[in-house]
A and B are shown apart, each in its own frame.
Chain A
């Protein structure tokens, strides 16, 4: 009997302890601030090596641990500001001279020199298997002196300063990386080391990385930059289900939720602050211009009929906070973006439809049905488009498929009529020039350079501009040209919603690294 009582007592004690653990999760350290800042996000994390990284969570981590030559201030991505260095350029925009700040050190206390810059950039350029390798395409790096580095290009490249903000081009402690297998060619073997330890100069260092569950950052004791961090430990957790992110935040188990949809932030309860802004993604319709792929979608009058048949405000109803109508292929926060988008004009649509000779045939609309972008699911969007086009006299059949099977058809230009999206690889309007005829995205719509040489000329002018004023005008002209004669119909720029506990401030959305963890402060 005594044994039974003892077992019962142990069981009750265990249940009580477990329940208390449930209640006490996320407890604070006695002060008003939690002992760790907890960020929930749907993980896209493949490596701790910034030079090999190309995915959002990896960028967020790299941004906190490493520094780049240049940076962006808050959410303003139009003009790079000094990071580890300041820069000057020549009149042709082909030579950029970077001067390192004096006295800056890595996390082991060693000084940051021009040799570290040359090694870091040459390393990315030499690692052909790195997804970030293309960022260094056409850029030559040379050391001028211990604090100065020159980057040169053969053609004008005003996008280069924006490129130097990308965390993939972070400056690494060359001595440490070389000692752990780092090289500037394809034989580099430092990834394993960088998956466990960091070799940067950012406000944080890597404490631990588990690619499936969480990344833990600790304060960089030797950091001597401008950021003043309020949290000496940060846990970035993998929470793929956005409903769980929402409940974790409301229940106090986390302090930042990165992937909430517009509808979810509208329903948030508790002491929560939401930062909603248009993201840098653009969701668009593609109408293939190759007659071999589709006779009707390659008809320019039919493209115009579709463009003016759509009720863009009606489409926007399907999205949530922060979303906006796409005014062109360049999203609102980028240089050259158009102020106003297309408005529905059913009379014009009817005229263009008659001119196209459309005889009521069914057009099949393809889209990925398992890949929401910024919380916007493509299935209701496709259904709304189908309904709107039906009202305008165009019969549409829907053909959804998983992303992984759909993307091959899209990339190879085999889709006649489809919904897709495009986001920038780095924060510069040059990212949107591939929409031009004969360029990467243009060819996916069967749009060859010969079909519209004028657009090619506008894209070339934008790419080769040598001054900011000239550049802005050239990108605007390109965006307008695309709206007038392109086979793409930009629909929506989905919102980015970052929800935080009420005690936090300093959230600023960035299209590459989502947010700078070091800028999160306690109110």
Chain B
């Protein structure tokens, strides 16, 4: 029997991408914990009396009602105890009860978030399609008339106040031209579809309500149009700049010298090379769309996250404000996580670094 040589124990090789994603996931969880502390602390630092704001004049002067209210919402507990209770409840999906709507915040947000997601998704898809097209055209035709026109469009999109654009477009397309429906997510003649995803366009289709689906699509048009204008302006600028940088790169010049051109050149080489900064701005823009649509939602009576945030803050609804803060924090964390993940997929240097 010959002497055996020790063999090094072999572990399954972990891919660099998996390690990278695990690290990012761990960071996100820590950040999420930080978000709960920040939202809780900031919310409780706001000056004002939530009891007076929530109960109103008559009820706030009734000691029995105030006592019952304070006990019900745990407002008599020390702040650390309130925070511990809040975090403990969060693990069970309980974000507390809104002082404003008197409904569980989780239930409120499960209705509000899909409404905003629906309009934000529509907007980001339109913005991506138009922004990438316009930015690429401007870069390819740098200095020409078409470039100037695109840059003006971009400037207008970035400069026009969204609230004004919302009111003006609603007036023009609904009131004057009659080609857009009134406010809200559905016409009053239709009942909301059974809740599955919360996205009316999807839920109406799942329920086989074709007329309601068309109506939901019609109601989506104007908010998407208005929200897209700013994002299109932003994306067009970034795409133009990024594509211009890539167009001067050696590998693009080499590709051209070998006869590559048209869509293959654009999508296969140029846009791929320019994708990292574009991805960054798309992520930020999508986050902004999900969390910053207050004014547009107000004009179109769109019952989304922005409306809920506004109503919570004006009524000093602390659980509501914390719920919105947490959801917005999670939205940005998730988007950043996805963007980082895509970085890793698109650029090997990132996952190996």
Contacts and interface: CB of A to CB of B under 8 A. Distances in A.
Interface of A: 14, 17-23, 25-27, 35-36, 38, 40, 46-47, 54-55, 128-135, 137, 186, 208, 210-214, 216, 235, 237-241, 243-244, 247-248, 250-251, 253-254, 370, 402-405, 407-408, 411, 422-423, 425, 440
30 contacts: A18-B221, A19-B179, A21-B214, A21-B215, A22-B178, A22-B180, A23-B179, A40-B183, A131-B55, A134-B62, A134-B65, A186-B68, A210-B192, A211-B101, A212-B101, A212-B112, A213-B184, A213-B185, A214-B188, A216-B191, A237-B183, A237-B188, A238-B303, A244-B300, A247-B175, A251-B174, A253-B181, A253-B183, A254-B182, A370-B314
A134 B48 contact: no
B65 A408 contact: no
B58 A425 contact: yes
Contact of A240 (B167, B179, B307, B316): B307
Interface in B208-226: 211, 214-215, 217-218, 221
Contact of A22 (B57, B60, B221, B308): B221
A26 B182 CA distance: 9
Contacts of B52: 407-408, 411
Interface of B: 46-50, 52-53, 55-62, 64-65, 67-69, 72, 100-103, 108, 111-112, 167, 170-171, 173-175, 178-185, 187-189, 191-192, 211, 214-215, 217-218, 221, 298-301, 303, 307-308, 311, 313-316
Contacts of A130: 59, 65
B188 A212 contact: no
A19 B218 contact: yes
B53 A128 contact: no
A241 to B, nearest CB: 5
For the complex of A and B, list the 6 residue pairs with the smallest distance between their C-beta atoms, beginning with the closest. A253-B182, A129-B68, A131-B59, A21-B218, A25-B181, A134-B62
Given A22-B179, A129-B69, A247-B170, A27 B61 contact: no
A243 B299 contact: yes
Contacts of B170: 244, 247
Interface of B is mostly: helix
A370 B311 CA distance: 12
A18 B214 contact: yes
A133 B64 contact: yes
A47 B54 CA distance: 13
Contact of B315 (A22, A131, A404): A404
Nearest to B70: A129
A150 to B, nearest CB: 24
Contacts of B49: 407-408, 411
Nearest to B71: A129
Nearest to B47: A405
Given A23-B179, A131-B65, A247-B170, A404 B191 contact: no
A54 B183 contact: no
Contact of B65 (A26, A47, A129, A370): A129
A237 B68 CA distance: 31
B75 to A, nearest CB: 13
A402 B299 CA distance: 21
Contacts of B69: 129
Given A18-B217, A238-B301, A253-B174, A128 B58 contact: no
A281 to B, nearest CB: 12
A23 B314 CA distance: 35
A408 B46 CA distance: 12
B183 A239 contact: yes
